[in-house]
Structure 1
Amino acid sequence: MSLRSKASAALFAALAALPLSLAGAVTPAQAAPVSIDNATQFTDPAGNPVHAHGGGVVKVDQYYYWFGEDRNADNTFRYVSVYRSTDLKTWEFRNHALTQATDPELGSANIERPKVMYNAATHQFVMWMHKENSADYGEARAAVAVSATVDGDYSYKGSFRPLGEMSRDITTFVDTDGTGYMISAANENRDLHVYRLTADYTGIQAQVQNLWQGSSREAPAMFKRNGVYFLLTSGATGWAPNQQKYATATSITGAWSGLKDVGDSTAFRSQTAYVLPVQGTAGTSFLYMGDRWGNSMGKSVNDSQYVWLPVKFPTKTSMSLEYSPQITVDTAAGTVKGMNVVWETLAAQHSGKCADVANYDTSDAVQLIQWGCGAGANDQFWIKKLGNGYVQIMARHSGKCLDIAGASTADGALAVQNTCNGQPSQQWKLRATDTAGYVEIVAKHSGKCLDVVNTSTADGTALDQWTCSGGTNQHWRRTTV
């Protein structure tokens, strides 16, 4: 072999070995855009539910690490679990980062709203959380744990009341200059305190704000966009959802605006957990991450659903949230988008009340009823043309389609929502009536009309199908939301 051939062979061998020597540094390929259904529970690749309730996210290289509450059946603390993803849809379980066995203090505790920050100076990941005992909410303490790796076993450093003040729902924030902050509900949730952390993020250096004293705000989430700080909070109504509000400032320690409403009156039946910046080649979008608490539905924390929405910014100092049953996330581009469709209400002529999916339920086979218009996303529908003279009618809150129970052709068969599948009982013809502005909604499979039972005007009356008669309880007015 010539010297040139030997040199080429050596170079090839060195290059071939290089990926092996750098195996620990290899990052995953950029994720493709994904569609994420709202008001559901994520599952990991093994089919297990993802329990990251009240959680927060930290990004390391190409991975997003999601930490959150994983509770026992009686709602007491079991784990702070951590999952990772490149696309924000497929979540791989990594570790129970904190457990009851981590420290004796955690053996009978409630741990809520864990948030993790990376400290570039100490090369440590620092977790802050709200700590209570398992019997009541009398402790009102903050707690700290640390780890050298993002998804490792965290070492518990204990709990305390910051500067002697009560501390319940918390969040953390790292500013662009590396300063760390912890924000917590204080004084029996009446006030919201902002603390500047020590250089290693494990302690309190000073309280720098006492915001909106007496206004009872909790579930804080802070983020920064184009030099403006946003602080999103919910009211303090236990597990029941409520109107969320936000404020803005150009300095954390300076003057903050008054509180402004965002989203609908129940935050689409959710409560703030975190607002995540998603940065990519096209810029940075912001993702609202909320919990629809299982407890608000008569269940447990581990039955909670996730509500994720794109945050929009009408102006530099304002934000808005609109509900979408499905969002599209492209982490490579840094985009988060909802469904770009027209939502409408359907009001019965005889009562003036709207078609509504009962109890805001997102399950299959839930009945449609009539109710006073404006109840929420469960009385809003996307009327999608199918190209065959028929339409599909999708409920906004659930992403499910208007259907007739059991695909029955009988008079009186109930109108329900079911997972959209395109079958004839989910296809409808909108037929003009002799009353201007109203249509009949006719099922393809039966030729019968969507009808309010017995021409009742009462809230809660069921919708069914019935032989078309021209009655005003079969006439529907479409109104764009």
Structure 2
Amino acid sequence: MRRAPRARQLAAALAGLVLLLAFPTAARAATVTVTNGVQFTDTSGNPLHAHGGGMIKVGSYYYWFGENRNDNNTFRYVSVYRSTDLRNWEFRNNVLTQSSAAELNVSNIERPKVIYNSSTGQYVLWMHWENGSDYGQARVAVATSSTVDGNYTYRGSFRPLGYDSRDMTVFRDDDGSAYLISSTRVNADLNIYRLTSDYLGVASLVHTLWPGNYREAPAMFKRNGVYFLFTSGATGWAPNQARYATASSIAGTWTSPTNVGNSITYGSQSAYVLPVQGTSTTSYLYLGDRWAGAWSGKANDSKYVWLPLSFPSNTSLSMSWYPRVNIDTATGVVSGNGSGNAYETLRPRHSGQCLDVPNQSTADGSEVAQYGCNGGANQHWQPLDLGTGYHQLIARHSNKCLTVPSSSTADGVRVTQQTCGSGTNQQWQITDVGSGYWRLTARHSGKCLDIVSGSTTAGARAIQYACSGGTNQQWQRTGAP
């Protein structure tokens, strides 16, 4: 008799299990969240270096290939990682290294992309190749492997049909035909070439797009029979306005490029567009690089920006900023998470000027002040949500954090920029105080970001001070640029 309640509990548990099996919750459990504007790490906690890269799905795994550079930005490896959920990435191999071929010993390898040839059973890796000292070679390079993450055999470099070739990508169509899309004439034009049947060479020039428009960073995908092509402007490391075009055939006619995203593509440059096909839908995920060269950093310090694409019509797309992205590879559902801006200007209510790092200094310890708003990157701040109720505020021009030096808790301490770390003196609580203004409170001290003495003078320094509710402690957050 005393065992009967436990028996009933067991029966109830089994009934619950039957219900779980009948109505699976795996779709919810499979959802992961990716944070934007940060460096990624692999499952061992190491920085993930797949810059300028692309993905290919093999079985249940997504394989992510990309640039892994030396400190002087020359070629070190093409690295590959794999994941089933697009959040947890396992390092697999450096598929191409400086010792893979003599030509790679001192070189630049950029924008590696892999496609699979089902006829030959080979994975074919295409890249932009330079000699490591200048960008005068402008060639493509090819390597192959019988396994997706094995050591690739280098097949050499060449200019496609004699054209110079810089930023590039490759695209495999539904019928098995494959194409190279690359910037040529020093980025003035964009050429589309059909590859040979083994994907190792170029068979013909298919189309020249928008002569004289200077587009690079191509990323092509196909949706519902429509071809889409992302490109960026050619402004070096600095981000610019992304544009896209469409066609019903790769051979054209292609539409004129249309702006997408904001004027700096949320601080990123296109690398790849990934179809995420699941049981419910197929979503399309923009993969972009936030290049560290924009703040004079090393390429391997670059960050990632991933954003879901939406399609108002079959031949149009749009892309909005989200600080995080939810991804469910089982169902194919990809959605934005959160709100806000990729970068913001911060304007104290009493003066209407902008929080500024004077003279665009990139040095640690540079004091922060208010100046007239001018659109400079030294007045743009990335509000990085730490998921703890606090944010880091990162200067766009320097990639450094708004900091209270030495973790001081004293009134009047001048606020500076410093290399970002984990200190609470770089963490700010952002509190809505109404009327479109916000209070910024330092976590370590509980004191407010303040313009000294309520000054309206350009150059008046930013300090921390006991929170008073004054208008010199109220900040308007406006999307930038």
**With structure 2 as the length reference, what TM-score do the two structures score?**
0.79
> How many residues are aligned here?
446
Please say if residues 55 and 62 of structure 2, whose CA atoms lie closer than 8 Å, have aligned partners that are also in contact. Answer: yes
Q: Tell me what 1:275 maps to.
A: 273
Q: 1:465 to 1:282 in 2, by over 3 A?
A: same
Structure-2 change in CA distance of 1:357 and 1:172 (3 Å): farther
The CA distance in 2 between the partners of 1:382 and 1:44, in whole Å, is 20
**C-alpha displacement of 1:96:** 1.5
Q: 1:363-397 CA distances to partner (integer Å, 9 max, x unpaired)?
A: x999876563877895586999x9xxxx8677699
SS in structure 2 of the partner of residue 101 of structure 1: helix
Query: Is 2:61–2:84's contact at 8 Å kept on the other side of the alignment?
Result: yes
Match of 1:141 among 133, 139, 142: 139
Q: 1:314 Cα shift?
A: 3.0
Give the C-alpha shift of residue 313 in structure 1.
Answer: 2.4
Which moved further from structure 2: 249-258 or 468-477?
468-477
Match of 1:233 in 2: 231
Report the equivalent of 1:155: 153
Q: Distance in 1 between matches of 2:235 and 2:292?
A: 15
SS of the counterpart of 1:313?
strand
Q: Summarize the alignment of residues 67-216 of structure 1 with structure 2, pairs less than 5 Å apart.
A: 67-216=65-214
5 Å matches for 1:306-455?
A: 306-341=304-339, 347-354=347-354, 370=370, 372=373, 378=380, 409-413=409-413, 426-427=428-429, 450-455=449-454
Per the TM alignment, residue 167 of structure 1 is displaced from its structure 2 partner at its CA by 0.8
Please give the alpha-carbon distance, in whole angstroms, between the structure 2 residues aligned to 1:277 and 1:152.
Answer: 24
Displacement of 1:318 in angstroms is 2.4
Return closer, same or farther for 1:464/1:168 CA change in 2, 3 Å cut-off. Answer: same
Residue 464 of structure 1 pairs with residue 463 of structure 2? yes
Distance in 1 between residues matched to 2:267 and 2:79, nearest whole Å: 24
Bigger Cα displacement from structure 2, 323-332 vs 452-461: 452-461
Q: Distance in 1 between matches of 2:93 and 2:183?
A: 28
Which stretch shifts more, 438-447 or 308-317?
438-447
Residues 74, 479 of structure 1: alpha-carbon distance in 2 compared, 3 angstrom cutoff: closer
C-alpha separation between the residues in 1 aligned to 2:436 and 2:106? 62
Q: Is the 8 A contact 2:123 2:148 kept in 1?
A: yes
Equivalent pair of 1:323/1:397 in contact (CA under 8 Å): no
* Structure 2 gap segments, 5+ residues each: 1-25
Deviation of 1:222 (Å): 0.5
**Residue 402 of structure 1: CA displacement?**
8.9
Cα distance in 1 for residues equivalent to 2:382 and 2:302: 23
Query: How far is the alpha carbon of 1:294 from its aligned partner?
Result: 2.2
Would the aligned equivalents of 1:71 and 1:77 in 2 still touch at CA under 8 Å?
yes
Contact between 2:187 and 2:216, CA under 8 Å: does it hold in 1? yes
Which residue is 2:301 aligned to? 303
Q: Name the aligned partner's letter for residue 351 of structure 1.
A: S
In 2, distance between residues paired with 1:350 and 1:81? 51
Please give the alpha-carbon distance, in whole angstroms, between the structure 2 residues aligned to 1:217 and 1:76.
23
Deviation of 1:143 after TM superposition, in Å, equals: 1.2
**2:247 match:** 249
Which of 35, 42, 45 matches 1:44?
42
Match of 1:473 in 2: 472
Q: Kindly tell me: are residues 255 and 457 of structure 1, through their superposed partners in 2, closer, same or farther at Cα, counting changes over 3 Å?
A: farther
Determine if contact 2:323/2:340 at 8 Å carries over to the other structure: no
1:23 maps to which residue?
none
Alpha carbons of structure 1 residues 381 and 101: separation in structure 2 relative to 1, 3 Å: closer
The worse-fitting range, judged by mean Cα deviation, of 299-308 and 333-342 is 333-342
Matching residue's letter, 2:352: G
Q: C-alpha separation between the residues in 2 aligned to 1:306 and 1:196?
A: 30
Aligned 8 A contact 1:345 1:380 in 2: no
The answer as to whether partners of 2:395 and 2:401 remain within 8 angstroms in 1 is no
Q: CA 1:462–1:254 in 2, change beyond 3 Å: closer, same or farther?
A: same
SS in 1 for 2:316: coil
On the 8 A contact 1:328/1:337 being kept in 2, the answer is: yes
Question: Structure 1 residues 263-272 or 213-222, which shifts more?
Answer: 263-272
Alpha-carbon distance change, 472 to 93 in structure 1, aligned in 2, over 3 angstroms:
closer
Cα deviation for residue 55 of structure 1 reads: 0.7
C-alpha distance in 2, partners of 1:140/1:280?
Answer: 38
1:464 aligned partner, one-letter code? I
Deviations 1:195-224 (A, max 9, x none): 111122111121111011111111110111
Contact 2:430 2:438 in 1 (8 A): no
- State, as a whole percentage, how many aligned pairs show the same letter: 55
Give the letter aligned to residue 130 of structure 1.
H
Moved more, 260-269 or 406-415: 406-415
The DSSP-based 3-state class of the residue aligned with 1:57 is strand
- Cα distance change of structure 1 residues 176 and 349 upon mapping to structure 2, 3 Å threshold: same
Q: How far 1:465 moved relative to its partner?
A: 3.6
**Aligned equivalent of 1:291, options 289, 292, 295:** 289
Q: Any conservation in 1 of the 2:268–2:288 contact (CA below 8 Å)?
A: yes
Q: Contact 1:324 / 1:396 at 8 angstroms: preserved in 2? A: no
